[in-house]
Amino acid sequence: MASLRGLSYFEKWLLLGVVAGVIAGLAAVVFYTLTRLFEDVFMRELVGMAVPRALGEGGSLDFRPNMGNYLLVPAATAIGGLISGFLVYTFAPEAEGHGTDAVIRAYHYLQGKIRWVVVPVKVLASAITIGSGGSAGSEGPTALFSAGIGSLSADLFKLSPEDRRRMVAIGIGAGIGSIFKAPFGGALLAAEILYRRDIEAEVLYPAIVAAAVGYAIFGAFFGYGPIFGAYPGQFNPQSLPIFALLGLINGPMAILYVKAFYGLNGYFKKLKIRDHFKPLLGGLATGLLGLMAPEVLGEGDGWISLIMHGKIDAFYSPLLPPLLLLALLPFLKILATSFSIGSGGSGGVFVPGLFIGAFVGADLGLLFRHFYHQLVPSLAPFVIVGMASFFAAAGKVPLSVMAMVVEMTGSPELLPAAMIATALSYLTSWGYSIFQSQVETRRDSPAHRAEY
Protein backbone atom coordinates (compact mmCIF):
# COMPACT_ATOMS: atom_id res chain seq x y z
CA MET A 1 0.00 0.00 0.00
CA ALA A 2 1.21 3.46 -0.87
CA SER A 3 0.62 4.76 2.65
CA LEU A 4 2.87 2.05 4.10
CA ARG A 5 5.60 2.64 1.53
CA GLY A 6 5.74 6.29 2.57
CA LEU A 7 6.52 5.46 6.19
CA SER A 8 9.96 5.04 7.74
CA TYR A 9 11.20 1.54 8.60
CA PHE A 10 10.26 1.77 12.27
CA GLU A 11 6.85 3.34 11.64
CA LYS A 12 5.94 0.77 9.01
CA TRP A 13 7.06 -2.21 11.05
CA LEU A 14 5.41 -0.95 14.21
CA LEU A 15 2.09 -1.13 12.35
CA LEU A 16 2.85 -4.41 10.60
CA GLY A 17 4.21 -5.84 13.85
CA VAL A 18 0.89 -5.12 15.53
CA VAL A 19 -0.94 -6.82 12.65
CA ALA A 20 1.37 -9.84 12.87
CA GLY A 21 0.92 -9.95 16.65
CA VAL A 22 -2.88 -9.98 16.43
CA ILE A 23 -2.66 -12.79 13.88
CA ALA A 24 -0.23 -14.76 16.06
CA GLY A 25 -2.24 -14.33 19.26
CA LEU A 26 -5.51 -15.41 17.66
CA ALA A 27 -3.77 -18.29 15.87
CA ALA A 28 -2.38 -19.52 19.20
CA VAL A 29 -5.83 -19.29 20.83
CA VAL A 30 -7.50 -21.23 18.01
CA PHE A 31 -4.88 -23.96 17.85
CA TYR A 32 -4.68 -24.40 21.63
CA THR A 33 -8.48 -24.69 21.83
CA LEU A 34 -8.62 -27.23 18.98
CA THR A 35 -5.87 -29.35 20.53
CA ARG A 36 -7.63 -29.50 23.90
CA LEU A 37 -10.91 -30.37 22.14
CA PHE A 38 -9.40 -33.37 20.36
CA GLU A 39 -7.52 -34.37 23.51
CA ASP A 40 -10.87 -34.57 25.29
CA VAL A 41 -12.39 -36.60 22.44
CA PHE A 42 -9.58 -39.13 22.12
CA MET A 43 -7.76 -39.43 25.43
CA ARG A 44 -10.48 -38.57 27.94
CA GLU A 45 -13.60 -39.92 26.22
CA LEU A 46 -12.31 -42.80 24.07
CA VAL A 47 -9.45 -44.04 26.26
CA GLY A 48 -10.59 -42.57 29.58
CA MET A 49 -7.00 -41.65 30.47
CA ALA A 50 -6.05 -38.70 32.66
CA VAL A 51 -3.55 -36.41 30.93
CA PRO A 52 -1.52 -33.97 33.05
CA ARG A 53 -1.33 -30.36 31.95
CA ALA A 54 1.35 -27.80 32.61
CA LEU A 55 0.80 -25.64 35.68
CA GLY A 56 0.41 -22.52 33.58
CA GLU A 57 -2.35 -24.23 31.60
CA GLY A 58 -4.50 -25.20 34.56
CA GLY A 59 -2.57 -28.31 35.61
CA SER A 60 -2.06 -29.49 39.19
CA LEU A 61 0.83 -30.99 41.13
CA ASP A 62 -1.66 -33.38 42.73
CA PHE A 63 -2.04 -35.32 39.48
CA ARG A 64 -2.49 -39.07 39.81
CA PRO A 65 -2.47 -41.44 36.82
CA ASN A 66 -5.82 -42.90 35.76
CA MET A 67 -5.23 -45.36 32.97
CA GLY A 68 -8.88 -45.92 31.93
CA ASN A 69 -9.25 -48.27 28.94
CA TYR A 70 -5.48 -48.40 28.65
CA LEU A 71 -5.31 -50.94 25.83
CA LEU A 72 -7.20 -48.54 23.55
CA VAL A 73 -4.22 -46.17 23.42
CA PRO A 74 -2.77 -47.66 20.16
CA ALA A 75 -6.23 -47.46 18.59
CA ALA A 76 -6.52 -43.75 19.49
CA THR A 77 -3.07 -42.84 18.14
CA ALA A 78 -3.59 -44.92 14.99
CA ILE A 79 -6.97 -43.31 14.26
CA GLY A 80 -5.45 -39.88 14.83
CA GLY A 81 -2.60 -40.73 12.46
CA LEU A 82 -5.01 -42.01 9.82
CA ILE A 83 -7.17 -38.86 9.89
CA SER A 84 -4.09 -36.62 9.90
CA GLY A 85 -2.56 -38.51 6.96
CA PHE A 86 -5.76 -38.30 4.95
CA LEU A 87 -6.05 -34.54 5.50
CA VAL A 88 -2.42 -33.78 4.71
CA TYR A 89 -1.83 -35.98 1.69
CA THR A 90 -5.22 -35.27 0.13
CA PHE A 91 -5.22 -31.47 0.40
CA ALA A 92 -1.72 -30.15 1.19
CA PRO A 93 1.21 -32.63 1.14
CA GLU A 94 3.64 -29.88 2.12
CA ALA A 95 1.90 -29.72 5.52
CA GLU A 96 3.41 -33.04 6.63
CA GLY A 97 6.08 -33.11 9.31
CA HIS A 98 6.93 -30.23 11.60
CA GLY A 99 5.56 -26.91 10.40
CA THR A 100 8.43 -24.67 11.50
CA ASP A 101 10.75 -26.21 8.93
CA ALA A 102 8.19 -25.54 6.19
CA VAL A 103 8.10 -21.86 7.16
CA ILE A 104 11.90 -21.63 7.18
CA ARG A 105 11.93 -23.16 3.70
CA ALA A 106 9.33 -20.64 2.51
CA TYR A 107 11.49 -17.80 3.84
CA HIS A 108 14.67 -18.89 2.07
CA TYR A 109 13.38 -20.39 -1.17
CA LEU A 110 9.78 -19.26 -1.85
CA GLN A 111 9.91 -15.49 -1.13
CA GLY A 112 7.76 -16.15 1.92
CA LYS A 113 4.86 -17.58 -0.10
CA ILE A 114 2.70 -20.15 1.73
CA ARG A 115 -0.37 -21.62 0.02
CA TRP A 116 -3.52 -20.67 1.92
CA VAL A 117 -4.82 -24.25 1.98
CA VAL A 118 -1.76 -25.38 3.95
CA VAL A 119 -2.85 -23.36 6.97
CA PRO A 120 -6.21 -25.02 7.83
CA VAL A 121 -4.90 -28.46 6.88
CA LYS A 122 -1.83 -28.11 9.09
CA VAL A 123 -3.81 -26.75 12.02
CA LEU A 124 -6.50 -29.44 11.93
CA ALA A 125 -4.12 -32.35 11.22
CA SER A 126 -1.73 -31.29 14.00
CA ALA A 127 -4.50 -30.78 16.56
CA ILE A 128 -5.79 -34.28 15.81
CA THR A 129 -2.29 -35.80 15.97
CA ILE A 130 -1.53 -34.23 19.36
CA GLY A 131 -5.03 -34.68 20.75
CA SER A 132 -5.10 -38.38 19.90
CA GLY A 133 -1.85 -38.99 21.78
CA GLY A 134 0.71 -38.49 19.03
CA SER A 135 4.07 -37.27 20.29
CA ALA A 136 4.26 -33.79 18.78
CA GLY A 137 4.38 -30.15 19.83
CA SER A 138 2.08 -27.21 19.26
CA GLU A 139 4.78 -24.73 18.24
CA GLY A 140 5.22 -25.92 14.62
CA PRO A 141 1.53 -25.72 13.70
CA THR A 142 1.15 -22.39 15.50
CA ALA A 143 4.21 -21.00 13.69
CA LEU A 144 2.87 -22.15 10.31
CA PHE A 145 -0.61 -20.83 11.18
CA SER A 146 0.58 -17.32 12.06
CA ALA A 147 3.25 -17.23 9.33
CA GLY A 148 0.78 -18.43 6.71
CA ILE A 149 -1.76 -15.76 7.57
CA GLY A 150 1.11 -13.26 7.69
CA SER A 151 2.08 -14.26 4.16
CA LEU A 152 -1.49 -13.78 2.95
CA SER A 153 -1.77 -10.42 4.70
CA ALA A 154 1.47 -9.31 3.01
CA ASP A 155 -0.16 -9.97 -0.36
CA LEU A 156 -3.26 -8.10 0.80
CA PHE A 157 -1.13 -5.07 1.72
CA LYS A 158 0.82 -5.46 -1.55
CA LEU A 159 4.13 -5.73 0.26
CA SER A 160 7.38 -6.55 -1.53
CA PRO A 161 8.78 -10.10 -1.49
CA GLU A 162 11.38 -8.92 1.04
CA ASP A 163 8.67 -7.65 3.38
CA ARG A 164 6.61 -10.80 2.87
CA ARG A 165 9.58 -12.85 4.04
CA ARG A 166 9.86 -10.67 7.12
CA MET A 167 6.17 -11.15 7.91
CA VAL A 168 6.69 -14.91 7.69
CA ALA A 169 9.73 -14.85 9.99
CA ILE A 170 7.89 -12.62 12.46
CA GLY A 171 4.99 -15.08 12.39
CA ILE A 172 7.26 -17.91 13.55
CA GLY A 173 8.50 -16.06 16.61
CA ALA A 174 5.24 -14.35 17.54
CA GLY A 175 3.21 -17.53 17.20
CA ILE A 176 5.58 -19.64 19.29
CA GLY A 177 6.16 -16.85 21.80
CA SER A 178 2.41 -16.44 22.25
CA ILE A 179 1.40 -20.06 22.78
CA PHE A 180 4.29 -20.66 25.22
CA LYS A 181 3.87 -17.32 27.01
CA ALA A 182 7.47 -16.43 26.20
CA PRO A 183 7.33 -13.24 24.12
CA PHE A 184 10.94 -12.13 24.46
CA GLY A 185 12.29 -15.57 23.57
CA GLY A 186 9.82 -15.78 20.70
CA ALA A 187 11.03 -12.46 19.29
CA LEU A 188 14.64 -13.69 19.40
CA LEU A 189 13.56 -16.97 17.81
CA ALA A 190 12.16 -15.13 14.79
CA ALA A 191 15.63 -13.79 14.04
CA GLU A 192 17.67 -16.84 15.07
CA ILE A 193 15.82 -19.89 13.78
CA LEU A 194 16.46 -19.16 10.09
CA TYR A 195 20.20 -19.92 10.31
CA ARG A 196 22.60 -22.31 11.99
CA ARG A 197 25.34 -19.71 12.45
CA ASP A 198 23.73 -16.32 11.91
CA ILE A 199 20.83 -14.07 12.86
CA GLU A 200 18.30 -12.03 10.86
CA ALA A 201 18.67 -8.76 12.74
CA GLU A 202 16.17 -6.88 10.57
CA VAL A 203 13.20 -8.84 11.94
CA LEU A 204 14.03 -8.23 15.61
CA TYR A 205 12.19 -4.93 16.01
CA PRO A 206 8.88 -6.02 14.41
CA ALA A 207 9.15 -9.44 16.08
CA ILE A 208 9.37 -7.77 19.51
CA VAL A 209 6.22 -5.78 18.75
CA ALA A 210 4.37 -8.81 17.34
CA ALA A 211 5.35 -11.18 20.15
CA ALA A 212 4.23 -8.68 22.79
CA VAL A 213 0.84 -8.22 21.12
CA GLY A 214 0.38 -11.95 20.54
CA TYR A 215 1.27 -12.75 24.15
CA ALA A 216 -1.19 -10.14 25.42
CA ILE A 217 -4.01 -11.69 23.36
CA PHE A 218 -3.24 -15.32 24.23
CA GLY A 219 -2.75 -14.48 27.91
CA ALA A 220 -6.11 -12.72 28.03
CA PHE A 221 -7.71 -16.12 27.36
CA PHE A 222 -5.37 -18.48 29.22
CA GLY A 223 -3.46 -16.43 31.78
CA TYR A 224 0.01 -14.92 31.88
CA GLY A 225 1.86 -17.12 34.39
CA PRO A 226 4.93 -19.22 33.43
CA ILE A 227 3.73 -22.26 31.53
CA PHE A 228 5.64 -24.77 33.69
CA GLY A 229 5.12 -22.89 36.94
CA ALA A 230 7.67 -20.74 38.76
CA TYR A 231 11.08 -22.18 39.62
CA PRO A 232 10.84 -23.17 43.31
CA GLY A 233 14.51 -23.02 44.34
CA GLN A 234 17.71 -20.99 44.33
CA PHE A 235 20.82 -21.16 42.20
CA ASN A 236 23.83 -22.91 43.72
CA PRO A 237 27.08 -21.96 41.93
CA GLN A 238 28.75 -25.10 43.34
CA SER A 239 26.60 -27.08 40.88
CA LEU A 240 28.16 -25.43 37.81
CA PRO A 241 30.42 -28.43 37.00
CA ILE A 242 27.33 -30.67 36.93
CA PHE A 243 25.58 -28.26 34.57
CA ALA A 244 28.67 -28.32 32.35
CA LEU A 245 28.45 -32.12 32.29
CA LEU A 246 24.76 -31.83 31.40
CA GLY A 247 25.68 -29.68 28.41
CA LEU A 248 28.29 -32.21 27.28
CA ILE A 249 25.65 -34.96 27.45
CA ASN A 250 22.94 -33.00 25.67
CA GLY A 251 25.10 -32.28 22.61
CA PRO A 252 25.33 -35.96 21.58
CA MET A 253 21.70 -36.47 22.69
CA ALA A 254 20.67 -33.73 20.25
CA ILE A 255 22.55 -35.54 17.47
CA LEU A 256 20.71 -38.75 18.41
CA TYR A 257 17.38 -36.88 18.20
CA VAL A 258 18.15 -35.53 14.73
CA LYS A 259 19.52 -38.84 13.40
CA ALA A 260 16.66 -40.93 14.80
CA PHE A 261 14.02 -38.50 13.51
CA TYR A 262 15.34 -38.30 9.97
CA GLY A 263 16.38 -41.95 9.95
CA LEU A 264 12.80 -43.06 10.60
CA ASN A 265 11.53 -40.33 8.29
CA GLY A 266 13.66 -41.77 5.48
CA TYR A 267 12.42 -45.27 6.28
CA PHE A 268 8.78 -44.21 6.03
CA LYS A 269 9.40 -42.38 2.76
CA LYS A 270 10.73 -45.62 1.25
CA LEU A 271 7.79 -47.74 2.39
CA LYS A 272 5.83 -49.06 -0.59
CA ILE A 273 2.42 -48.00 0.64
CA ARG A 274 0.31 -44.90 0.00
CA ASP A 275 1.50 -41.87 1.90
CA HIS A 276 -2.01 -41.47 3.37
CA PHE A 277 -1.55 -44.59 5.52
CA LYS A 278 1.98 -44.01 6.77
CA PRO A 279 0.95 -41.76 9.69
CA LEU A 280 -1.42 -44.54 10.77
CA LEU A 281 1.58 -46.87 11.15
CA GLY A 282 3.53 -44.17 12.95
CA GLY A 283 0.59 -43.52 15.26
CA LEU A 284 0.22 -47.22 16.00
CA ALA A 285 3.93 -47.50 16.88
CA THR A 286 3.62 -44.46 19.15
CA GLY A 287 0.60 -46.00 20.86
CA LEU A 288 2.49 -49.23 21.51
CA LEU A 289 5.29 -47.21 23.11
CA GLY A 290 2.58 -45.48 25.13
CA LEU A 291 1.52 -48.84 26.56
CA MET A 292 5.00 -49.11 28.04
CA ALA A 293 5.32 -45.45 29.06
CA PRO A 294 2.16 -43.29 28.84
CA GLU A 295 4.34 -40.24 29.54
CA VAL A 296 5.52 -40.19 25.88
CA LEU A 297 2.00 -39.56 24.57
CA GLY A 298 0.94 -36.08 23.46
CA GLU A 299 3.04 -32.97 23.99
CA GLY A 300 4.26 -33.96 27.44
CA ASP A 301 4.32 -30.46 28.93
CA GLY A 302 2.33 -31.59 31.97
CA TRP A 303 4.96 -34.23 32.75
CA ILE A 304 7.66 -31.56 32.52
CA SER A 305 5.84 -29.54 35.19
CA LEU A 306 5.58 -32.59 37.43
CA ILE A 307 9.25 -33.60 37.20
CA MET A 308 10.37 -29.97 37.58
CA HIS A 309 8.54 -29.83 40.91
CA GLY A 310 9.85 -33.22 42.04
CA LYS A 311 6.60 -35.22 41.75
CA ILE A 312 8.29 -38.50 40.88
CA ASP A 313 5.45 -40.55 42.38
CA ALA A 314 3.12 -39.29 39.59
CA PHE A 315 5.05 -41.28 36.96
CA TYR A 316 3.70 -44.70 36.09
CA SER A 317 4.39 -47.64 33.79
CA PRO A 318 2.69 -51.06 33.82
CA LEU A 319 5.95 -52.66 32.65
CA LEU A 320 8.89 -50.64 33.99
CA PRO A 321 9.97 -49.81 37.56
CA PRO A 322 9.96 -46.03 38.26
CA LEU A 323 13.71 -45.39 38.09
CA LEU A 324 14.12 -47.37 34.87
CA LEU A 325 11.13 -45.53 33.41
CA LEU A 326 12.71 -42.15 34.18
CA ALA A 327 16.03 -43.29 32.73
CA LEU A 328 14.41 -44.44 29.48
CA LEU A 329 11.98 -41.57 28.95
CA PRO A 330 14.38 -39.37 26.88
CA PHE A 331 15.00 -42.24 24.45
CA LEU A 332 11.37 -43.36 24.33
CA LYS A 333 10.28 -39.78 23.60
CA ILE A 334 12.77 -39.57 20.74
CA LEU A 335 11.29 -42.75 19.26
CA ALA A 336 7.68 -41.67 19.82
CA THR A 337 8.27 -38.27 18.19
CA SER A 338 10.11 -39.84 15.27
CA PHE A 339 7.22 -42.25 14.69
CA SER A 340 4.49 -39.63 15.09
CA ILE A 341 5.96 -36.88 12.91
CA GLY A 342 8.63 -38.70 10.91
CA SER A 343 6.00 -41.03 9.46
CA GLY A 344 4.35 -38.05 7.79
CA GLY A 345 2.17 -37.02 10.72
CA SER A 346 1.75 -33.40 11.64
CA GLY A 347 3.06 -31.48 14.64
CA GLY A 348 6.04 -29.67 16.11
CA VAL A 349 9.37 -30.90 17.45
CA PHE A 350 10.08 -28.17 20.02
CA VAL A 351 8.00 -29.37 22.99
CA PRO A 352 9.14 -33.00 22.53
CA GLY A 353 12.67 -31.58 22.52
CA LEU A 354 12.01 -29.77 25.80
CA PHE A 355 10.67 -33.04 27.23
CA ILE A 356 13.80 -34.94 26.19
CA GLY A 357 16.11 -32.31 27.65
CA ALA A 358 14.05 -32.07 30.84
CA PHE A 359 14.37 -35.78 31.56
CA VAL A 360 18.05 -35.94 30.63
CA GLY A 361 18.52 -33.20 33.23
CA ALA A 362 16.27 -34.97 35.75
CA ASP A 363 18.16 -38.24 35.34
CA LEU A 364 21.51 -36.54 35.87
CA GLY A 365 20.09 -34.68 38.87
CA LEU A 366 18.80 -37.92 40.41
CA LEU A 367 22.18 -39.57 39.93
CA PHE A 368 24.09 -36.76 41.65
CA ARG A 369 21.46 -36.36 44.35
CA HIS A 370 22.01 -39.98 45.32
CA PHE A 371 25.66 -39.26 46.08
CA TYR A 372 25.64 -35.54 46.93
CA HIS A 373 22.22 -34.71 48.33
CA GLN A 374 23.27 -31.31 49.75
CA LEU A 375 24.58 -30.27 46.34
CA VAL A 376 21.38 -31.34 44.55
CA PRO A 377 18.43 -30.66 46.88
CA SER A 378 16.02 -30.20 43.95
CA LEU A 379 15.67 -31.55 40.41
CA ALA A 380 14.19 -28.30 39.11
CA PRO A 381 17.42 -26.53 38.02
CA PHE A 382 18.59 -29.63 36.14
CA VAL A 383 15.22 -29.99 34.41
CA ILE A 384 15.26 -26.32 33.38
CA VAL A 385 18.87 -26.23 32.21
CA GLY A 386 18.34 -29.60 30.49
CA MET A 387 15.49 -28.16 28.42
CA ALA A 388 17.48 -25.10 27.39
CA SER A 389 20.72 -26.86 26.55
CA PHE A 390 19.11 -29.74 24.67
CA PHE A 391 16.96 -27.83 22.22
CA ALA A 392 19.51 -25.04 21.84
CA ALA A 393 21.73 -27.72 20.36
CA ALA A 394 19.05 -29.64 18.45
CA GLY A 395 17.55 -26.52 16.84
CA LYS A 396 20.69 -24.35 16.68
CA VAL A 397 18.82 -21.60 18.55
CA PRO A 398 20.83 -21.01 21.77
CA LEU A 399 19.90 -17.41 22.54
CA SER A 400 16.16 -17.71 21.99
CA VAL A 401 15.71 -21.06 23.71
CA MET A 402 17.57 -19.91 26.82
CA ALA A 403 15.30 -16.86 26.97
CA MET A 404 12.16 -18.91 26.34
CA VAL A 405 12.93 -21.52 28.99
CA VAL A 406 13.64 -18.78 31.55
CA GLU A 407 10.27 -17.18 30.71
CA MET A 408 8.48 -20.54 30.80
CA THR A 409 9.85 -21.36 34.25
CA GLY A 410 10.38 -17.97 35.91
CA SER A 411 14.04 -18.74 36.55
CA PRO A 412 16.37 -15.89 35.52
CA GLU A 413 18.81 -16.84 38.29
CA LEU A 414 19.59 -20.05 36.36
CA LEU A 415 20.88 -18.17 33.32
CA PRO A 416 24.59 -18.65 34.21
CA ALA A 417 24.08 -22.41 34.44
CA ALA A 418 22.03 -22.45 31.22
CA MET A 419 24.66 -20.40 29.39
CA ILE A 420 27.48 -22.78 30.32
CA ALA A 421 25.46 -25.89 29.50
CA THR A 422 24.16 -24.44 26.25
CA ALA A 423 27.61 -23.35 25.07
CA LEU A 424 28.88 -26.90 25.57
CA SER A 425 25.84 -28.65 24.07
CA TYR A 426 25.93 -26.35 21.04
CA LEU A 427 29.64 -27.11 20.58
CA THR A 428 29.30 -30.89 20.93
CA SER A 429 26.26 -31.17 18.63
CA TRP A 430 28.35 -29.99 15.66
CA GLY A 431 26.25 -28.92 12.67
CA TYR A 432 23.29 -31.22 13.28
CA SER A 433 19.90 -29.50 13.36
CA ILE A 434 16.31 -30.74 13.53
CA PHE A 435 15.45 -27.94 11.07
CA GLN A 436 16.76 -29.14 7.71
CA SER A 437 15.79 -25.97 5.88
CA GLN A 438 18.13 -23.80 7.96
CA VAL A 439 21.13 -22.47 6.07
CA GLU A 440 24.49 -21.63 7.60
CA THR A 441 24.51 -17.84 7.25
CA ARG A 442 22.78 -14.99 5.40
CA ARG A 443 25.33 -15.39 2.63
CA ASP A 444 24.01 -18.93 2.00
CA SER A 445 20.34 -17.91 1.76
CA PRO A 446 18.73 -17.38 -1.67
CA ALA A 447 16.76 -14.60 0.03
CA HIS A 448 20.00 -12.58 0.32
CA ARG A 449 21.71 -13.65 -2.89
CA ALA A 450 21.56 -10.17 -4.42
CA GLU A 451 23.39 -8.68 -1.42
CA TYR A 452 26.42 -10.90 -1.93
The confidence score (pLDDT) of residue 371 equals 87
Low-confidence ranges of the chain (pLDDT < 50): none
Q: Which residues, at least 6 apart from 119, have a Cβ–Cβ distance to it below 8 Å?
A: 144, 145, 148, 149
How crowded is residue 146: how many other Cβ atoms within 10 Å of its Cβ?
Answer: 36
How crowded is residue 60: how many other Cβ atoms within 10 Å of its Cβ?
Answer: 13
Beta bridge partners of 439: 195
The confidence score (pLDDT) of residue 68 equals 85
The angle at the Cα of 300, spanning 54 to 237, to the nearest 5 degrees, equals: 70
| Full set of structural domains in the chain with CATH | 2-451 (1.10.3080.10)
Model-level pTM?
A: 0.97
Crossing angle of helices 301-308 and 350-371, rounded to 10°: 20
The confidence score (pLDDT) of residue 1 equals 53
CA distance 59 to 42: 19
